[in-house]
Structure 1
Amino acid sequence: MFIVESTIHLAAPLARVWRLLIDLEHYSDWHPTLALKGIASVGTEIGYKFKTGMRSFPEVSTTADVTRVDRHAAFFWKLGMKGLLEVEQGFELAKSDSGTIVTHKMCCRGVLSVLAVPSLKRGFEKTTVATNQFLARFLKRGTTTARYSQQTKRHH
């Protein structure tokens, strides 16, 4: 078993980052290699597609189980085959004075994780860093304001 993680500070309100991370139907809007579909609720099964970018290793398309949803604090899902290779992936959020601290974590368990530790770990480390960068870039764009900013009621 091994765990990799990458932390980034985003100059965006925690609630905005949270809404973006649990809006599974729009993951591919901000993440070019990962698409999730379904509802972010513990115990539900969600669709999972990951483009590896390697010709020798095609797109992974499967389902994952949502394992943790703590409002404004954490969202995790798990996929794989128990005992062989299981990956739990997700995000932990914390409010800071100037935005949100996001920690993207991946925990790998099973026989294959032990056998392939160096290469698998390097790949997961690159994935966590890249995901945080995709998230930061998307949040900097002005187009996210309408969908992910807090809705205000208009008084007529």
Structure 2
Amino acid sequence: MKTVRTEITIHAPAEKIWNILMDFEQYPYWNPFIKKISGEKKQHGKLEAFIQPEGQSGMRFRPTIQKYEPNREFQWLGNLWFSGIFDGRHSFKLIPLENGSTLFIHAEQFTGLLVTPLWRMLYAPTLKGFESMNVALKQRAETL
């Protein structure tokens, strides 16, 4: 298993950040990493997503929501071709802080046969994509 994990403090309440994350229709206008996402916003809901790290070709996939806890955590599991080859458990966690801000943790755990051979090629663009999305989310939450 390999993991990419980032975090950022956003000066906005978790509820506001959650609402931005769940407004899938607006992703193309603010999200530099997840260019498009749609689907059922519920536990075990099916999604269709298109991600494109900067300078990379994009990837379309159809993950299933594993955790849907409003204002706390949104997590999906996707795979390349079929389970066990290249699987990614993508998560967004919102942790309220005492000052009214929120710690946003954006992570993905990768498992499967192709993870190790592809890791060197995958890590840097994924990390950069997460970080750019985090900054864009912070800016949107703090200015809306």
Structure 1 length-normalised TM: 0.81
Question: Is residue 2:4 matched to residue 1:4?
Answer: yes
1:37 aligned onto 2:76: no
> For the Cα contact (< 8 Å) 2:13–2:102, is it kept in 1?
yes
Unaligned ranges ≥5, structure 1: 145-156
Letter in 2 for 1:50: I
Q: Does 1:49 align with 2:47?
A: no
Cα deviation, residue 128, structure 1: 1.9
The alignment status of 1:118 with 2:87, answered yes or no, reads no
* 1:33-62: CA deviation from partner (whole Å, max 9, x where unpaired): 3111123211111110112444xx532223
**In structure 1, what is the equivalent of residue 17 of structure 2?**
17
Contact 1:78 1:88 in 2 (8 A): yes
Q: Which runs of 4+ in 1 moved over 4 A?
A: none
Greater Rg by CA:
1
The aligned amino acid for 1:45 is K
Q: Secondary structure at the match of 1:111?
A: coil
Cα distance in structure 2, aligned partners of 1:78 and 1:109: 11
Rounded Cα–Cα distance in structure 2 between residues aligned with 1:38 and 1:48 = 9
Relative to structure 1, is the Cα distance of residues 105 and 75 closer, same or farther in structure 2, using a 3 angstrom cutoff? same
The corresponding residue for 1:103 is 105
Find the aligned partners of 1:24 and 1:8 in 2 and give their Cα distance. Answer: 21
Unpaired runs of 5+ in structure 2? none
- Larger deviation: 24-33 or 109-118? 24-33
3-state SS of paired residue (2:139)? helix
The answer on whether the counterparts of 1:79 and 1:86 sit within 8 Å (CA) in structure 2 is: yes
> Which deviations, in whole Å up to 9, do the C-alpha atoms of 1:78-129 show, x marking residues without a partner?
2113111111112011101231110001111111111122222222222221
Task: State the distance in 1 between where 2:3 and 2:103 align.
Answer: 19
Distance in 1 of aligned mates of 2:137 and 2:126: 16
Give the Cα separation in 2 of the matches to 1:108 and 1:18.
24
What amino acid is aligned across from residue 129 of structure 2 in structure 1? T
Higher-RCO chain (CA-CA 8 Å, sequence separation at least 6): 2
Kindly, what percent of the aligned residue pairs are identical? Answer: 19
RMSD of equivalent CA atoms: 1.6
